[in-house]
Structure 1
Amino acid sequence: MTRFSASAPSPRARDTALDLGAFVTASPSSFHAAREAARRLERDGFTELLETDAWDGADVAGNRFVLRDGSLIAWSAPEGADASAPFRIVGSHTDSPALKLKPNPQLGAEGLSQVGVEIYGGPLLNSWLDRELRMAGRLALADGSTVLVDTPGLLRVPQLAVHLDRAVNKDGLQLDPQRHMQPLLGFAPADVLGILAEHAGVAREDIVGTDVVTVDAQAPSLFGAEGEFLASGRLDNLTSVHAEVEALLSVAAAPRTESASGPAPIALMVANDHEEVGSATRSGAAGPFLEDVLVRVHAALGGDESSRRRVLASSLVLSADAGHAAHPNYPERHDPVTRPRLGEGPMLKINAQQRYATDAVGIAAFAAACERAGVPHQHFVSNNAMPCGSTIGPITATRLGMTTIDVGITLLSMHSAREMCATADPLLLQQACAAFLHG
């Protein structure tokens, strides 16, 4: 019998979701995510600028990007852009909750080697159990250089058998982050740093520092009756990083000229690190990276402090970060009226306590972008008894004074080692971001 389902994703949505899966696979750490975004931009004609170099008008014209650790900023300036051009910015973050290697990671017990880790961000710890884990991140070497490292699935955190914890299904799983979350690596004396050195192609004795996390080794995949869902690690927030990269590429390929409302905006994306731990780092949203780049670009185009303040006052920021879909098994945890759903487009995230930066002006700006793109959108507010998290949005608005809007696609299993979204939603977010950047 032939069966039709309105939930079946379009071929383009399916292709976008699969490309997102490839992006996630290539981005096991924030450093890899920034590099993969840079690779895609460079492939399509963007040129890297170094923060240590002087920038003039020719340097910042056209399509450029800048890397700082696990963060990236890229922009496309329309032809003839000058210091009067406002910015249209989409922001996201490159990091995800994880288990992060400690400085001296060598552990062992019962004849087995383990890796000493601490908790990064707020992961659902139980989701890291009984799955193979990769190690990925950055190694600092004795000569002052750094290299990226990425291993296959070498680690596993084994759960205690039910025979040894008879009450687990009645009383719930209780995990001590120090005692119960140290992954196995092999039989003793497996050497953690030696294995990282081997996969990075460097000498073990040259490693003097590590920024390495563990991530799920299972590849992203589509599932569901019609392939309508995507399962993957790090959808929070690589869905947004992928969307803004592809949106910026599409905007850079389209001519933009001055209109009756003013000069065409400079389309810019920022992907910050360390959002999951508060953003207060040199490459996080609370740090100076975005402001540094905006000041330098504006100055290179001939602007001064007075004109820069006027430009920022007329600029807009879209803070893109994944949010919660209404959960079918826990309906009481959500607002009784506002029920964001998988597959129904990006949502505007609104909070009276300003945990999200969205206001009425921002709502109108994003609704207009979605209308131009032909993209549906929805709203998110928290159940009053369930305080929400936050994003880079309020931090960016506070630092720079720009009108900022918090949006994102809906997820289930957020902060799990393996999250899920609707196959249709990554394309819808990408299209909305492109319309917003175009201005």
Structure 2
Amino acid sequence: MSPDRARAHADDLIAFVAGSPTPYHAVASAAARLEAAGFTRVEERDAWNGTPGGRYLLRGGAIIAWYVPDNAGPATPFRVVGAHTDSPNLRVKPRPDSGGHGWRQVAVEIYGGPLNNSWLDRDLGLAGRLVTRDGAHHLVNVDRPLLRVPQLAIHLDRSVNEGLALDRQRHLQPIWGLGEPREGDLIGFLAGEAGLAAADVVGWDLMTHDVQPPAYLGRDEELLAAARLDNQVSVHAGATALAAVAASGAELAYIPVLAAFDHEETGSQTDTGADGPLLGTVLDRSVYARGGGFDERARALSATVCLSSDTGHAVHPNYAERHDPGHHPVPNGGPILKVNVNQRYATDGQGRGLFVAACERAGVPWQSFVSNNATACGTTIGPITAARHGITTIDVGIAILSMHSTRELCGAQDPSLLARAITAFLQG
């Protein structure tokens, strides 16, 4: 692979992550890239037509995009790349203004399963969406040092280096100023940042983010450190691949689809999560818009395949015993094929063959991942997608360190390798 090509892709990923502190920003960033590639937005409440071309829809922190080739018929199957837009973080409570002892704080709730200690002593911004009385959603992003979760000095806890225990209610509330808390301060401030009147803001979905920008790391800059690699690296790769396939002009045997869902980190059981109806509804409507009915839908789904792309674990040099001894994925070794016989990942032998074939067509190396038998295995949207829609599903991703930290680490070449493999998969 050309080093320049991999670097250009990583540079674009850096811009994507830096501009996407929340799921709402991530789908807007993906939509902007697809718009530049000729895709048009559709609304769920409108009638759809089945004419060729690229389309996408947004719902909250989720985006579904698809490209109908000229030769598509009512029963043409789909090739879906699935990902998720959310990451563990600290999210603002309904009554956010809190504090005491001369400090003004922001009341937060823990979202997902973060490495709690990684949020200590970080310069944090606030971002998300504000909802006004007319029901409109307004993105806001304060991407500068605004908040901080201060750690207790070692002088006041001499045993801290023998084991740090953080109470999620008491110890993770960030400070953002001095004085007594006043109700309405935070939302009033954020309304001003968004150019809104504070009295018009009646709802919000707000979350913290580390304002340190992504950066290349190492003597040879062969590593990439950034927030939210889990799983914006897959959202970015999927959008890049879909745009490339649509622009290729090649005759396709499948309809390529990007499905990037919200709320994977909390179980996916929402209207914008993988366990909701969104993807199935879009696939059904696509079939019906091209003149198909129930029979054509069933035929299309029977040959549909989903590539569930999410980050996985690179072998940790300081904790190698936590990994399966025969499976040590390394950065810049290419995408990982994730397997679990208890179906925490959806990959089976058939799926393995499909993914290996895509990697070979793309000239991309690949690796296998399986958990140590003594360690509980995580999961993804893969098994949910397979069970909900009855479609063959394969779990893949790239290998990273520090998963669920405020700042994760991957090989700088792997994002490009993943995008190339996804492109070959979507092309079929």
Runs of at least 5 residues in structure 1 that lack an aligned partner in the other structure:
1-7, 259-263
Q: In the alignment, which residue of structure 1 is the partner of 2:4?
A: 11
Shift of 1:195: 1.5
* Structure 1 position 304 matched with structure 2 position 293: yes
Q: In the alignment, which residue of structure 2 is the partner of 1:163?
A: 155
Candidates 408, 415, 421, aligned match of 2:410: 421
Shift of 1:19: 1.1
* Structure 1 position 135 matched with structure 2 position 126: yes
Q: In the alignment, which residue of structure 1 is the partner of 2:223?
A: 229
* Structure 1 position 360 matched with structure 2 position 349: yes
TM-score with structure 1 length normalisation? 0.95
Candidates 391, 396, 415, aligned match of 1:407: 396
The 5-angstrom pairing of residues 70-89 of structure 1 reads: 70-89=61-80
Distance 1:292 1:278 in 2: 20
Q: In the alignment, which residue of structure 2 is the partner of 1:96?
A: 87
Q: In the alignment, which residue of structure 2 is the partner of 1:64?
A: 55
Per-residue CA deviations over 1:34-70 (Å, capped at 9, x if unaligned) read 1110011112211001101011223xx2111111110
Shift of 1:256: 2.6
Q: In the alignment, which residue of structure 1 is the partner of 2:419?
A: 430
The 5-angstrom pairing of residues 39-438 of structure 1 reads: 39-58=32-51, 61-151=52-142, 152-170=144-162, 172-189=163-180, 191-257=185-251, 264-438=253-427
Distance 1:129 1:57 in 2: 51
Distance 1:418 1:294 in 2: 35
Aligned length: 424
Distance 1:27 1:309 in 2: 37
Amino acid at match of 2:196: V
Amino acid at match of 1:201: G
Q: Which moved more, 1:85-94 or 1:8-17?
A: 8-17
Q: Which moved more, 1:181-190 or 1:82-91?
A: 181-190
Amino acid at match of 1:158: P
Shift of 1:344: 0.1
Per-residue CA deviations over 1:272-307 (Å, capped at 9, x if unaligned) read 000000000000000011001000001001111111
Distance 1:419 1:375 in 2: 23
Does the aligned pair in 1 maintain the 2:37–2:247 contact within 8 Å? no
Shift of 1:188: 2.3
* Structure 1 position 32 matched with structure 2 position 25: yes
Tell me, what secondary structure is at the counterpart of 2:373?
coil
Tell me, what secondary structure is at the counterpart of 1:57?
coil
Shift of 1:198: 1.2
Overall identity of the aligned pairs, in %: 56
Does the aligned pair in 1 maintain the 2:100–2:180 contact within 8 Å? no
Tell me, what secondary structure is at the counterpart of 2:147?
coil
Distance 1:174 1:18 in 2: 37
Amino acid at match of 1:175: L
TM-score with structure 2 length normalisation? 0.97
Does the aligned pair in 1 maintain the 2:348–2:394 contact within 8 Å? yes
Does the aligned pair in 2 maintain the 1:100–1:212 contact within 8 Å? yes
Tell me, what secondary structure is at the counterpart of 2:287?
helix
Does the aligned pair in 2 maintain the 1:243–1:427 contact within 8 Å? yes
Runs of at least 5 residues in structure 2 that lack an aligned partner in the other structure:
none
Shift of 1:9: 8.4
Does the aligned pair in 1 maintain the 2:222–2:411 contact within 8 Å? yes
Distance 2:325 2:269 in 1: 35
Shift of 1:189: 4.4
Shift of 1:76: 1.2
Cα RMSD after superposing both structures: 1.2
Distance 1:337 1:44 in 2: 42
Tell me, what secondary structure is at the counterpart of 1:65?
strand
